[in-house]
C-alpha cells in the first residue's frame, strides 16, 4: 500500500494496515526496517545487521567472506581465488605469485625463490641442492662427476 507511514485526517492519526507495531512499513522488521529486511533494518535479503544483498552477517559484499572480503575471496578479504591471507590468484598463503613457492618464489620454483626446475636452495635447472650445475653432484661438481668433484674415468 506504499511507504506512507502516517496519514492525519481531521486531527486523527491513522496508521496503514499490515504495519508493524511501531509504525514500520509492510513486511518490515519490528524496528521499521524496509521490505524483507532483517530485524535491525537491514536491506533486502541482507543479514541481521544490515549487510547488503547475499552478504554475510557483518555486511560483507556478495559471495564474500564473513569479514567483508571480495567475491570468492578468503575469510580475511583476500582477492578472487586467493589464499586466506590475501595472496594473489593461485598463489601461496604468503602472497607469492602464480604457481610460486610459499615464500614468494617465482613460477615453478623451489620453496626459497629458486628458479624454474631448480633445487630448494636456488640452484639452477636440474642442479643439485647447493647450486651445482646440470647433472652435477650435490657439492657443485661438474657434469657426470663424482660427489667430490672428480670427473668420471672413461
How confident is the model over 80-92, as pLDDT tens digits?
444 444 434 444 4
Cell 544483498 locates to 53
Instruction: Write out the three cell numbers for 62.
Output: 556478495
Does the pTM surpass 0.75? The reply is no
Residue 6, strand partner residues: 15
| Residue 64 · residue 56 · CB < 8 Å | yes
- Residue 109: band (very low, low, confident or very high) from pLDDT cuts 50, 70, 90: very low
Mean pLDDT across the stretch 95-113? 41
Residue 21 to residue 145: CA distance in whole angstroms:
89
- Residue 140: band (very low, low, confident or very high) from pLDDT cuts 50, 70, 90: very low
CA 103 to chain centre: 18
On average, the pLDDT of the chain sits at 43
Annotate 1-63 with DSSP letters as a single string. Answer: --S--EEEETTEEEEPTT--TTS--TT--TTS--TT--TTS--TT--TTS--TT--TT---TT
* pLDDT at position 45: 42
Amino acid at each position: 500500500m506504499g511507504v506512507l507511514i502516517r496519514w492525519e485526517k481531521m486531527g486523527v492519526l491513522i496508521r496503514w494496515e499490515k504495519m508493524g507495531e511501531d509504525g514500520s512499513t509492510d513486511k518490515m522488521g519490528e524496528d521499521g526496517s524496509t521490505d524483507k529486511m532483517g530485524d535491525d533494518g537491514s536491506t533486502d535479503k541482507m543479514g541481521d545487521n544490515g549487510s547488503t544483498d547475499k552478504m554475510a552477517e557483518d555486511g560483507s559484499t556478495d559471495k564474500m567472506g564473513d569479514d567483508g572480503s571480495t567475491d570468492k575471496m578468503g575469510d580475511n578479504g583476500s582477492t578472487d581465488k586467493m589464499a586466506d591471507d590475501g595472496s594473489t590468484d593461485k598463489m601461496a598463503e604468503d602472497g607469492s605469485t602464480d604457481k610460486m613457492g610459499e615464500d614468494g618464489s617465482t613460477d615453478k620454483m623451489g620453496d626459497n625463490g629458486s628458479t624454474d626446475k631448480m633445487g630448494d636452495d636456488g640452484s639452477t635447472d636440474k642442479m643439485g641442492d647447493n647450486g651445482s650445475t646440470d647433472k652435477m653432484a650435490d657439492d657443485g661438481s661438474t657434469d657426470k662427476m663424482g660427489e667430490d668433484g672428480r670427473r668420471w674415468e672413461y
